[in-house]
Structure 1
Amino acid sequence: MQSSLRAARLATFVFFALNGFLIGIWVVHIPAVERRVGIGHPTLGWLLLLLGAGGFVGMRLVGPLADRFGARIVVPVSAALCAAAVVLPGVSANIWTLGVSLLALGFGNGCQDVAMNAHAVQVEHGYRRSVMSAFHATYSLGGVLAALVGARTQSWGWSPATALGMAALLGLVGAALAAPALLRPEKPHPAAVSAPVARRATPRRIWLLAGLALLLMLCEGVANDWSALHLRDVLAAPAATAALAYGVFATAMTAGRLLADRVATRFGPVAILRYGAGLAALGLMMAALSPWIPLALVGWTVFGAGLSGCVPQLFSAAGHADRNAAGANVARVAGLGYLGVLAGPAIIGPLTHLAPLNIVLILPVAFCVIAAGAANVLRPQSASVAQSDAADGRGALRS
């Protein structure tokens, strides 16, 4: 049993790394695809909304499928969809085919995202300790590998179609090799058959987790889109120095996720969210208000370290809230969180017309403070609380 669990954990690492690599290799080739299709930045921005829309639909669709058929089937199928779709933007010849390609890629990515997180919850349940953050760190490492590979293939003069095609082939082969090690579906808990009310009451807590995921992943999106611009536009940093802002954030995020599982095992998920989100708020406040570039870089580093373990704990809590609906619950949390990543540019951008960027960054600071204050949502529910939730669920159904 232990050997099969270790093999399943290794396979889950593979799927997270593959997903990070596939999305990363697309991101690296965005400028080349943009030139090939002959569109500008504004048009590309609208088309990227299709990527998000496809991802949201895929997440909501695959969650119940993972509960019904098991992650052992849904994870490799979703990974194959994502791998096959990543080549499509590279062969798109016009705006219409690129739009369809991005919709398909987003759909495949959304499916794989929820499916592999649902399986990660199953693996974590087998280990009976926190292992979720390390999977998310592997996703980040896959993106780093994609950046290195993409830079090399572009220096060799490879076309987007060739590079993305090779990435798709790697994804398909990797998914096929890792699939046999995935865990078989768990048998439904006997209480699930006789207690449908408990399932109806579950979403109340799940939506709280999803709301926190929305806030915290919006903060991650802010770092992705605005960290380098903050140093360049507010502190007049050279372009190369400004790029370090996202670099230190991403590095701290990855390193923090590699360590977060041990911290969560020792101190619990509530402490990870409370002190992690609090640390993130402190770091971003430091970056936003700093008049010096080095101190701002320290702030972005602290921001990444603080955020690193928070979202994986939310996914884990959603998956463990109801063992028979783990996929659907992870889909709710991941889906709303994904909207947060997309909403970051949409919210921050217009506000910069009303106030300087460093002042606007106080908004995600507030979001981190809210998340820290709501950390008790990760505390395991007692029997009395569960009964209260069930009563609320019956009342909601009657009303």
Structure 2
Amino acid sequence: MADTTIIQATNTRKTLRIAVGVLFFMAGLCFSSWASRIATVQQNLGLTDAALGAVLFSLPVGLMLSLPFSGWAITKVGSKKVLLGAILVYGICLISLGLAQTTLQLIVGLVCFGFSSNAVNISVNTQAVVAERMYERPIMASFHGLWSLAGFAGAGIGTIMIANHINPFHHFIIVLAILALGVTIASRYLYDDVGAPKIDSAVKIKLLERLRLMLPLLTLGSIAFCSMICEGAMFDWSVIYFKKVVDAPIALQGAGFTAFMLTMAGGRFVADLFAARFGLKRTLQVSGSLTVTGLLTAVIFPHLYTAMAGFMLVGVGVSSVVPMVYSAAGKSKTMSAGVALAAVSTIGFIGFLIGPPVIGFIAGLATLRASFVFIAIMGMSVVVLSTRAKL
């Protein structure tokens, strides 16, 4: 009887891990599909770099609008239902971006895209925390590795679509079909957390004490914020950088993004082992240093192969930061894992969405190469914050 219980528990955690992994992959595929076609959309609508930067601010607007809704919805109906609904809306919003014929239509589509993406981000990471607890060892990085692997796949598909002159709308319809299939398969195996224990609302904490308890989470959130500025900028601007600065041939304009996604995905599959051996602080310090080195390489030597090598270093650098920070937040002893994770992931994801439009503004005021120096400064901030933090 005991053996049967163990087998059932093992099967439950395996199926949950697979289901959560599938949805991480689908979310990454959805976002990277948009990222791979930004240059095409920019050209179709005749947007300058500065104008594109302004339009991309619609994504963090959608994120901010989604914050109160996502928290309330997860509390009321659970992360499973929020995740399944939000990820399908995510795919539908992707199609709306491919249909946009005017700047206003693109802005509205991006607001909705940002809204649904944040709901997906919080709910899927909440499911990942549950899976990690079942395994009683770090596995968060592997989930983010699947998200990155999907980004690599999305970049590759996008490169093929661009080379064959397939418009974004038809490209995104294919992605939605894949997304719907993945959600259908994974939906029955997710953890239903409706009615799960919540924070005891009867416990009253003074304001100063509450702020003190939040400081470690704010530090983790700040590290995630800086790293995800780098990550978001690479998603939205790497193709444009290779087009305008590196002057790569049309068929290779997505090569830098593909190289970045490849090393980021690979790095996340070994991040748990590296952190277990060298510790969280050392992992974050090395990650930030690699990000800075890669970005400066691409800026100082803006040629095809050197820029690709630089982008590969950036991919390795950012690969471990977010999963390590999320895992640390999930182990918070001052508040529930879900609340801590939502706080840290939200701060980080704001950086992910704010970074690209800021790059556009800097590029409009100076040059695109100068804007990549700003990203390098954010990578250095990861090193500084992790060195001074008590991790």
The verdict on a shared fold, with TM-score over 0.5 as the criterion, is yes
Corresponding residue for residue 387 of structure 1: none
Corresponding residue for residue 6 of structure 2: none
What is the aligned counterpart of 2:109 among 101, 110, 113?
101
Checking the alignment, whether the CA contact within 8 Å between 2:296 and 2:373 is kept in structure 1 is yes
Cα 1:367/1:26, change in 2 over 3 Å: closer
Segment of structure 1 superposing worse, 80-89 or 213-222 = 80-89
Alignment of 1:192-207 (within 5 A): 194=203, 196=205, 201-207=212-218
Corresponding residue for residue 330 of structure 2: 319
Shift of 1:65: 3.6
Checking the alignment, whether the CA contact within 8 Å between 1:318 and 1:330 is kept in structure 2 is yes
SS of the residue corresponding to residue 321 of structure 1 reads: coil
Checking the alignment, whether the CA contact within 8 Å between 1:55 and 1:106 is kept in structure 2 is yes
Corresponding residue for residue 41 of structure 1: 47
Q: Does 1:188 align with 2:194?
A: no
Corresponding residue for residue 152 of structure 2: 144
Matched residues, number: 378
Segment of structure 1 superposing worse, 208-217 or 266-275 = 266-275
Corresponding residue for residue 283 of structure 2: 272
Corresponding residue for residue 270 of structure 2: 259
Checking the alignment, whether the CA contact within 8 Å between 1:64 and 1:328 is kept in structure 2 is no
**Structure 1: which 5+ residue stretches go unaligned?**
381-399
Q: Does 1:344 align with 2:382?
A: no
Corresponding residue for residue 245 of structure 1: 256
Find the aligned partners of 1:312 and 1:188 in 2 and give their Cα distance. Answer: 24
What is the aligned counterpart of 1:209 among 214, 220, 241?
220
Q: After superposition, what is the alpha-carbon deviation per residue over 1:300-324, rounded to whole angstroms, capped at 9, x for unaligned? A: 3222212210122122222332585
Shift of 1:45: 4.9
Corresponding residue for residue 394 of structure 1: none
Q: Does 1:133 align with 2:144?
A: no
Corresponding residue for residue 66 of structure 2: 58
Seq. identity, %: 26
Checking the alignment, whether the CA contact within 8 Å between 1:269 and 1:379 is kept in structure 2 is no
Corresponding letter in the other structure for 1:203: M
Shift of 1:150: 5.1
Q: Does 1:80 align with 2:80?
A: no
Shift of 1:159: 6.2
**Structure 2: which 5+ residue stretches go unaligned?**
1-8
Checking the alignment, whether the CA contact within 8 Å between 1:70 and 1:184 is kept in structure 2 is yes
Shift of 1:239: 6.2
Corresponding residue for residue 375 of structure 2: 364
Checking the alignment, whether the CA contact within 8 Å between 1:60 and 1:328 is kept in structure 2 is no
